[in-house]
Structure 1
Amino acid sequence: MSRICKAAAIGGGVIGAGWVARLALNGIDVAVFDPDPEASRKVGEVMKGARRAYRKMAPGGLPGEGRVTYAKTIAEAVTGADFIQESVPERLDLKHKVLAEIDAHASRDALIGSSTSGLKPSDMQAAMERPERLVVGHPFNPVYLLPLVEVVGGDKTSRKTIEKARSVYASIGMKPVVIRKEIEAFVGDRLLEAVWREALWLIKDDITTVEELDDIMRYSFGIRWAQMGMFQVYRIAGGEAGMRHFIAQFGPCLAWPWTKLTDVPELTDELVDKIAAQSDEQAQGLSIRELERIRDDNLVAIMEALSKQNKGKGWGAGALHKDYTKQLAKAAAKDVGKGKPANVAKSKG
Structure 2
Amino acid sequence: MSAAGVERVAVVGTGVIGVSWAAHFLARGLDVVATDPSPGAEERLRKEVAALWPTLTPVDGATPERLAFTADPAEAAADADFVQENGPEREDVKHELFAVLDGAARPDVVLASSSSGLLPSAIARGCPAHPERVVIGHPFNPPHVIPLVEVVPGERTAEEAVTQALAFYTAVGKKPIRLRQELPGHVANRLQAALWQEAYSLVERGVASVADIDTAISQGPGLRWAVLGPFANQHLSGGPGGIAHVLEHLGPPTEKWWRDLGQVTLTPELVATLVAGVDAELAGTDPAELAARRDAVLHSLLDAKARTELP
Q: Which amino acid aligns with 2:152?
A: V
Q: Residues of 1 paired with 2:206 and 2:55: CA distance?
A: 37
Would you identify which runs of 4 or more consecutive aligned residues in structure 1 move more than 4 Å?
257-262
Could you say what secondary structure the match of 2:56 adopts?
Answer: helix
Could you say what secondary structure the match of 1:280 adopts?
Answer: helix
Give the match for residue 74 of structure 1: 73
**1:301 aligned to 2:297?**
no
1:208-261 deviations in Å (ceiling 9; x for gaps): 222211111011111111111111111111111111110011111233155665
Q: 1:54 aligns with which of 53, 56, 63?
A: 56
**1:64 aligned to 2:66?**
no
Q: Residues of 2 paired with 1:15 and 1:262: CA distance?
A: 32
Give the match for residue 147 of structure 2: 147
Displacement of 1:175 after TM fit? Answer: 1.0
Superposed, 1:83-102 pairs within 5 Å as: 83-102=82-101
Q: Which amino acid aligns with 2:53?
A: R
Contact 2:6 2:82 survives alignment (8 Å): yes
Could you say what secondary structure the match of 2:266 adopts?
Answer: coil
Could you say what secondary structure the match of 1:228 adopts?
Answer: coil
Q: Which amino acid aligns with 1:187?
A: V
1:115-143 deviations in Å (ceiling 9; x for gaps): 11111111111121200111110110110
Superposed, 1:264-279 pairs within 5 Å as: 265-279=264-278
Q: Residues of 2 paired with 1:288 and 1:85: CA distance?
A: 27
Q: Which amino acid aligns with 2:18?
A: G
Most deviating of 205-214 and 134-143: 205-214
Displacement of 1:49 after TM fit? Answer: 4.7
Q: Residues of 1 paired with 2:285 and 2:43: CA distance?
A: 21
Q: Residues of 2 paired with 1:211 and 1:98: CA distance?
A: 41
Contact 1:19 1:143 survives alignment (8 Å): yes
Displacement of 1:73 after TM fit? Answer: 1.5
Give the match for residue 332 of structure 1: none
Structure-2 change in CA distance of 1:157 and 1:36 (3 Å) = same
**1:280 aligned to 2:275?**
no
Identity %: 34
Q: Which amino acid aligns with 1:139?
A: P
**1:138 aligned to 2:101?**
no
Q: Which amino acid aligns with 1:186?
A: H
Superposed, 1:1-349 pairs within 5 Å as: 2-44=4-46, 46-55=48-57, 62-66=60-64, 67-128=66-127, 129-257=129-257, 263=263, 265-310=264-309, 315-316=310-311
Contact 1:201 1:260 survives alignment (8 Å): no
Q: Residues of 1 paired with 2:82 and 2:274: CA distance?
A: 39
Could you tell me which runs of 5 or more consecutive residues in structure 1 were left unpaired when the two chains were aligned.
317-349
Q: Residues of 2 paired with 1:145 and 1:296: CA distance?
A: 7
Most deviating of 286-295 and 100-109: 286-295
Displacement of 1:106 after TM fit? Answer: 1.2
Most deviating of 201-210 and 110-119: 201-210
Most deviating of 300-309 and 126-135: 300-309
1:275-313 deviations in Å (ceiling 9; x for gaps): 222222322323232122111101011112222324xxx
Q: Residues of 2 paired with 1:196 and 1:260: CA distance?
A: 15
Could you say what secondary structure the match of 2:150 adopts?
Answer: strand
Could you say what secondary structure the match of 1:146 adopts?
Answer: coil
1:158-205 deviations in Å (ceiling 9; x for gaps): 111111111111111011111122222221111111011111112222
Contact 1:33 1:70 survives alignment (8 Å): yes
Q: Residues of 2 paired with 1:274 and 1:262: CA distance?
A: 16
Most deviating of 26-35 and 36-45: 36-45
Contact 1:30 1:69 survives alignment (8 Å): yes
Could you say what secondary structure the match of 2:116 adopts?
Answer: coil
Structure-2 change in CA distance of 1:11 and 1:262 (3 Å) = farther
